[in-house]
């Protein structure tokens, strides 16, 4: 089967940002290719080019606005800037997709995000992905849009490790100290303001824990997070490290050597961070607004925080790090792996292929 992914994001080098749509697309595409399927990525980007990235064909197209629509664009851009950009990107990438379909057999098109790139679609067998693994949201969207077919809940594929903890000696991990990891973009929607308060409050009171942040610096209240991150590096040089990006092996090492991964998202859609941390047997503490209710059960296979009081977060982190008995920690790791079973890459990809085939057959 030849599958075309249409996406606004994809990996552009060996240094990977943790989580996100680009990682989902890469993991799914490589798993399909490993099973013998042909994959082509259609990417909305900054240039026009066709490249091979780790064996995957990538066709990138720069957004173009048709000259006859330019007056409308200029008229509406002031009020609808983001929406217009998505419209033009979707139109451009689908034009490239139609051109390729006319000369190359493509069995199905997989749109990775219904808002960013799925506004316009080719008349071809296709599936449209909503970036959240939440049955309640699925039912709401079905009713709100009056869909004739139910939304399929397909688990995000993840490589489930053995669950054994890695003991790595490096400049970050000090045996007598604990390590707390945050992996993901550092931005308003991901809870950066709360994250900063937690770290500052914690490290001003305790010197037995290291904090590591791995991810691209975004914006909070119109200001870049880079300054905050730089200040923390200066204030707590022995207990705080920031990595704007990490290679996959280094990120895996961070997950495996962390004592706790925190996800303080203000709002989220089933972040990959939780899946990747749990696959390494690392405990997760997440906000109750991170859409992880189908995966995390507070006190059973992870921890869920209600509210956004940094002092309460700090106290919960302390209890998890220093008061949780070792046997209970191991038992939770076992329950984590059990909860992940539905997301096992082999099973998840088989389900996705079944949906592909069903869509092609109905077409």
- Alpha-helix residue ranges (DSSP H) falling in 69-113: 70-76, 81-101
Q: Please state the CATH superfamily assignment of the domain spanning residues 178-342 in this structure.
A: Glycogen Phosphorylase B; (3.40.50.2000)
pLDDT tens digit sequence for 161-189: 644 555 444 444 445 689 999 999 999 99
pLDDT at 11: 78
Q: Does domain 2-157+344-362 have CATH number 3.40.50.2000?
A: yes
Q: CA 157, CA 26: separation in Å to the nearest integer?
A: 11
List pLDDT tens digits, range 285-321. Answer: 999 999 898 899 999 999 999 999 999 999 999 999 9
Coil, strand, or helix at residue 13? coil
225 vs 237: CA distance, rounded Å: 18
What ranges do the domains of the chain cover?
2-157+344-362, 178-342
Angle in degrees, CA 40, 43, 48, rounded to 5: 105
Mean pLDDT per 10-residue section of the chain, whose length is 363 residues: 93 60 89 96 91 92 83 76 80 92 94 81 90 83 88 88 49 66 94 97 96 93 91 97 89 93 93 92 95 93 96 98 94 91 92 96 85
Please state, in angstroms and rounded to a whole number, the distance separating the CA atoms of residues 315 and 201. 11
Give the model's pLDDT for residue 174.
41
Collapsed DSSP state (helix, strand, coil) of residue 339: helix
* CA atoms of 189 and 226, how far apart (whole Å): 16
Matching fold, domains 2-157+344-362 and 178-342: yes
Position 37 scores a pLDDT of 97
The pLDDT value given to residue 17: 52
């Amino acid at each position: 089967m030849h599958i075309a992914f249409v996406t606004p994001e994809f990996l552009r080098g060996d240094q990977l940002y943790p989580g996100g749509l680009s990682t989902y697309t890469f993991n799914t595409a490589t798993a399909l290719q490993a099973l013998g399927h042909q994959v082509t990525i259609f990417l909305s980007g900054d240039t026009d080019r066709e490249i091979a990235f780790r064996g995957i064909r990538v066709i990138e197209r720069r957004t173009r606005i048709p000259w006859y629509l330019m007056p409308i664009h200029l008229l509406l851009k002031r009020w609808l800037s983001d929406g217009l950009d998505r419209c033009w990107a979707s139109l451009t990438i689908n034009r490239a997709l139609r051109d390729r379909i006319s000369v190359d057999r493509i069995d199905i098109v997989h749109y990775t995000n219904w808002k960013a790139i799925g506004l316009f679609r080719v008349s071809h067998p296709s599936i449209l992905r909503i970036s959240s693994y939440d049955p309640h949201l699925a039912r709401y969207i079905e009713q709100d849009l009056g869909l004739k077919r139910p939304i399929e809940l397909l688990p995000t594929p993840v490589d489930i490790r053995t669950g054994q903890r890695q003991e790595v000696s490096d400049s970050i991990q000090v045996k007598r100290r604990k390590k707390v990891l945050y992996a993901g973009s550092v931005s308003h929607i991901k809870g950066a303001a709360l994250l900063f308060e937690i770290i500052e409050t914690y490290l001003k009171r305790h010197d037995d824990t290291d904090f590591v942040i791995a991810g691209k610096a975004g914006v909070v209240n119109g200001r870049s997070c880079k300054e905050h991150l730089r200040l923390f590096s200066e204030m707590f040089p022995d207990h705080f490290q920031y990595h704007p990006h990490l290679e996959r092996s280094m990120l895996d090492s961070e997950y495996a050597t962390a004592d706790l991964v925190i996800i303080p998202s203000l709002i989220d859609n089933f972040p990959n961070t939780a899946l990747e941390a749990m696959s390494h047997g690392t405990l997760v503490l997440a906000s109750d607004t991170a859409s992880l209710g189908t995966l995390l059960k507070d006190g059973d296979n992870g921890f869920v925080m209600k509210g956004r009081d940094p002092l309460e977060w700090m106290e919960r982190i302390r209890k998890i790090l220093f008061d949780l008995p070792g046997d209970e920690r191991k038992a939770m790791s076992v329950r984590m792996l059990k909860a992940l079973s539905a997301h096992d890459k082999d099973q998840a990809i088989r389900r996705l292929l079944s949906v592909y085939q069903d869509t092609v057959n109905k077409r």
